[in-house]
């Protein structure tokens, strides 16, 4: 009897093991609990049936139930859904400005996708949009480039306080259109009183945006590896309109020095992406040092490098398309060879050297360079003597970082207003009030406070108190032991994605753009 019981238990165990194996292999199915079958959020999308090349249009819709996160507007192109623009959700609704720059008219398929922490949570039905030709024809195509050596990247600022796929897109489905109205009715006007009511700040203007992307994402920096730019855009959920990189004039690691040519291929890669090059050009050699006797401002003024500057400018003119030229930035510091406080440079020489280089560009026909004068946010008392004059500057610019308490450079946690307020007043309101202003480098540390909150406050401050900031470039790069890249925390990525998702920050719609100097967007 005991042996029969053992046999029965053995058979039951064997059957149980077999059932478990069949279940693991997928032969036996089990009904999923209702909690695991929760439906994805539902999105609606209202979009014009017809748009014109390079002309901004508006897409809008709803997310039901109301969600946090951002909505990415995507187009079906080359076998994949690709981001065009993005916007944030407010009370269950979103509104996204977008534009297309394709060379030929075509029919496009678009949809809106809810994105949170880099994951797509749901999409709207597909909408068809007819792209019509613009009235003005795009600019001419440049001649084939000659091979150019790859320039070395200038050093980052010193530690001083200074979803792709190959399947066909889903067929168009009817969706719930945005009902008319839906917006809050305007409030009643206040009766006149003895005092004038405060004037509200003007709404923030459109702005270019981009990044200086280092090698930490793919092993090589953009634009030498445009996959780095793709990784960054995928992380923040929006294509950029500016891509920054830099080059010194020469490599003097061995004699004789080798001078770097105009970076034609990287410029072409950036333009092919629909973005504008934001190029930082440094009158120094590498290895970099503040003390470089062969690259003093007096040498530029005396014409020592006229042949090189003219050759570079001639190639820029042959390329023929607009680009930002951020020449010898942070000149009010002493950490670069062109600073008036370094390298035995004398007061007044920076402005003279700037004008000399500018005049050589004009003589060579390189009027496609947008001259961008970019001091650091400190040492403001020096700026008057460093400014070359309105006739020689197209854009002004500021660089500044929240270093926090990072052990590599513990200068202290500072708000965006503390960092940028005095410099903005000096440059944008007093020194060059007629010029648009860019932020050429900005980032924050994780040490000493919340990096995500700092980024949120940065976007809020820019919208409310800094109306002349028309371009923003984030320093997505490791340097001097600092934790600048956004991927230092998931919350920092989310905060930046939410801020840059505002429709006023323009995407990559500049593939056929040909206006110089580059205007405010």
Q: Coil, strand or helix: which one is 173?
A: coil
* In-domain check, residue 178: no
Structure tokens at 292: 């470089």
Is there a contact between 152 and 288 (Cβ–Cβ < 8 Å)? no
Tens of pLDDT, residue by residue over 258-267, are 999 999 999 9
Instruction: State how far Cα 389 lies from the chain centre.
Output: 28
* In-domain check, residue 415: yes
- Listed residues 117, 132, 147: the one ending a domain: 132
Looking at the structure, tell me whether residues 375 and 278 fall in a common domain: yes
Tens of pLDDT, residue by residue over 33-61, are 444 345 689 999 999 999 887 677 888 99
Neighbouring residues of 165: CB distance < 8 A, sequence distance ≥ 6: 79, 80, 81
Looking at the structure, tell me whether residues 222 and 92 fall in a common domain: no
Nearest to 249 by CA among 318, 320, 173, 338: 338
Question: In DSSP terms, which residues pair with 109 in a beta bridge?
Answer: 128
Nearest to 426 by CA among 387, 475, 472, 459: 387
The highest-confidence range among 134-143, 155-164, 321-330, by mean pLDDT, is: 321-330
Is there a contact between 387 and 331 (Cβ–Cβ < 8 Å)? no
Tens of pLDDT, residue by residue over 456-513, are 999 999 999 999 999 999 999 998 889 999 999 999 999 999 999 998 999 999 999 9
What's the confidence (pLDDT) of residue 167? 40
What's the confidence (pLDDT) of residue 198? 56
Name the domain count of the chain. Answer: 2
From CA 98, how far away is CA 39, in angstroms rounded? 29
What's the confidence (pLDDT) of residue 414? 98
Neighbouring residues of 515: CB distance < 8 A, sequence distance ≥ 6: 322
Least confident of 161-175, 198-212, 237-251, 253-267: 161-175
* In-domain check, residue 6: no
Give the residue-averaged pLDDT of 397-419: 97
Band (pLDDT 50/70/90 cuts) for residue 71 is confident
Looking at the structure, tell me whether residues 108 and 249 fall in a common domain: no
From CA 238, how far away is CA 273, in angstroms rounded? 13
Q: Any idea what DSSP says for residue 426?
A: I
From CA 482, how far away is CA 496, in angstroms rounded? 18
Least confident of 36-50, 81-95, 193-207: 193-207
pLDDT surpasses 70 at 136: no
Neighbouring residues of 381: CB distance < 8 A, sequence distance ≥ 6: none
Mean pLDDT value across the chain: 83
pLDDT surpasses 60 at 443: yes
What's the confidence (pLDDT) of residue 24? 41
Give the residue-averaged pLDDT of 181-198: 43
Could you tell me the CATH number of the domain that includes residue 424?
Answer: 3.20.20.80
Neighbouring residues of 437: CB distance < 8 A, sequence distance ≥ 6: 395, 396, 397, 398, 424, 427, 428, 468, 469, 470, 471
Is there a contact between 386 and 339 (Cβ–Cβ < 8 Å)? no
Give the residue-averaged pLDDT of 413-421: 98
* In-domain check, residue 255: yes
In this prediction the pTM is 0.69
* In-domain check, residue 22: no
For 77, the domain range is 42-132
């Amino acid at each position: 009897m005991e042996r029969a019981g053992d046999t029965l238990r053995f058979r039951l165990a064997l059957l149980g093991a077999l059932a478990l194996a069949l279940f693991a292999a997928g032969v036996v199915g089990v009904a999923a609990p209702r909690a695991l079958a929760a439906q994805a959020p539902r999105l609606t999308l209202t979009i014009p049936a017809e748009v014109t090349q390079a002309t901004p249009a508006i897409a809008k819709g709803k997310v039901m139930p109301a969600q946090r996160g951002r909505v990415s507007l995507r187009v079906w192109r080359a076998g994949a859904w690709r981001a065009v623009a993005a916007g944030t959700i407010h009370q269950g609704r979103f509104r996204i400005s977008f534009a297309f720059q394709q060379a030929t008219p075509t029919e496009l398929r678009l949809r809106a996708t809810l994105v949170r922490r880099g994951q797509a949570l749901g999409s709207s039905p597909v909408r068809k949009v007819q792209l019509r030709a613009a009235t003005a024809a795009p600019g001419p195509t440049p001649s084939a480039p000659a091979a150019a050596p790859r320039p070395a990247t200038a050093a980052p600022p010193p530690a001083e306080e200074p979803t792709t796929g190959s399947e066909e897109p889903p067929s168009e489905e009817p969706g719930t259109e945005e009902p008319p109205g839906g917006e809050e009715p305007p409030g009643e006007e206040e009766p006149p009183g003895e005092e004038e009511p405060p004037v509200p700040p003007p709404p923030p203007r459109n702005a270019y945006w981009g990044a200086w992307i280092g090698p930490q994402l793919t092993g090589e920096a953009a634009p030498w590896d445009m996959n780095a730019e793709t990784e960054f855009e995928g992380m923040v959920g929006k294509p950029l309109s500016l891509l920054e990189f830099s080059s010194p004039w020469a490599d003097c690691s061995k004699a004789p020095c080798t001078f770097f040519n105009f970076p034609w291929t990287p410029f072409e890669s950036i333009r092919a992406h629909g973005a504008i090059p934001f190029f930082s050009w440094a009158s120094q050699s590498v290895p970099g040092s503040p003390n470089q006797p062969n690259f003093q401002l007096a040498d530029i003024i005396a014409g020592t490098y006229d042949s090189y500057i003219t050759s570079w400018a001639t190639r820029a003119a042959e390329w023929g398309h607009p680009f930002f030229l951020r020449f010898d930035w942070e000149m009010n510091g002493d950490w670069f060879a062109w600073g008036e406080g370094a390298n035995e440079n004398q007061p007044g020489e920076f402005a003279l050297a700037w004008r000399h280089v500018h005049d050589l560009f004009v003589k060579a026909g390189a009027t496609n360079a947008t001259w961008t004068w970019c001091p650091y946010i400190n040492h403001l008392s020096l700026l008057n003597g460093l400014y070359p004059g309105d006739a020689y500057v197209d854009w002004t610019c500021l660089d500044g970082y929240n270093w926090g308490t990072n052990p590599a450079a513990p200068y202290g946690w500072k708000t965006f207003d503390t960092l940028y307020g005095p410099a903005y007043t000096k440059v944008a309101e007093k020194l060059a009030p007629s010029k648009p202003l860019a932020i050429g480098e900005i980032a924050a540390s994780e040490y000493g406070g919340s990096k995500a909150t700092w980024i949120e406050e940065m976007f809020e401050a820019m919208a409310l108190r800094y109306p002349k900031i028309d371009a923003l470039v984030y320093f997505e790069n490791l340097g001097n032991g600092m934790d600048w890249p956004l991927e230092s925390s998931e919350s920092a990525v989310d905060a930046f994605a939410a801020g840059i998702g505002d429709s006023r920050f323009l995407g990559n719609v500049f593939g056929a753009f040909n206006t110089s100097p580059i205007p405010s967007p």
